[in-house]
Amino acid sequence: MWQESKIQIADNIAPLSCAVTPAHPWVYGLGQSADSGGYLSPHNALGYLAKKLATSGASGDVIVLMIAENTHDAFIQGLNSLATVFPAPAFTQVSRMAKAAAELSTVKMQLPAKVAYALPAAAPLSVSTNRAAVNAQRVAAAQLATAVNTGTAGLQKQVTEFVQARAAQLASVSQAFDNLKGASAKVWAFTHSGNYVTGATELLKNIPQTTAVHTAAMMFTGDSLADLEKMLHEPDRVTRS
């Protein structure tokens, strides 16, 4: 069933294997893409996902996360918030596309005329042979530095520096994880466990935000999505352990 949820990183999450199906305005043949943005209703987005689900003939867990808004600004804000907590490729991709569409309509009339025969802007040159040569030089330099510092004092200094760097890195990782756990985002969430055909029917019941014109959804299917479900929180919800 559908719930307005808060998604947040949970403790003790195990690696997860599942199928992911996106539905957004830039899926071929699904939505409408225009200079002012991408348009797709929740009904059409979920209808697309329901067909995918019903034709699979399988069973298991289903979770759908959806952002649906009436204005382009609110849509981008919702996508940005969700992508910060849960940067799944489909949501980050849609966020970039939505931003690009908004910026295009603003700046396309402000672009200066191109000068004929002008040189392109400078950019880093990267070719495979060049990269290989640079990497080889770096390795040689590192080997030389190691050979020079083979004395006892040098080795002790290297070990001390390694221990300090490792401790700093672990502290940074721990702090980053604590910061991540403190972040959250609002999302419409659908959960189902069992036959996928039944899940497809339930997915289309009581669709939220039916008048929205900007929609992005992602459907997860697999044998067990309990660890993903741990990230969804509502006052009256009991998540599975």
Better-scored residue on pLDDT, 209 or 34: 209
Q: Does position 4 have pLDDT exceeding 80, yes or no? A: yes
72-85 and 89-107 helices, crossing angle to 10°: 140
* Residues 135-192 pLDDT 10s: 777 776 766 666 655 567 766 777 777 777 777 676 655 555 455 555 788 999 999 9
* Residues 120-148 pLDDT 10s: 555 565 556 666 666 777 776 766 666 65
Write down the pLDDT at residue 159. 75
Q: How far apart are the first and last CA of the chain?
A: 19
Q: Where are the domains of the chain?
A: 2-106+179-233
Write down the pLDDT at residue 52. 92
Give this prediction's pTM: 0.68
Structure tokens, 14: 């195990």
* Residues 37-92 pLDDT 10s: 678 999 999 999 999 999 988 899 999 999 999 998 899 899 888 888 888 877 88
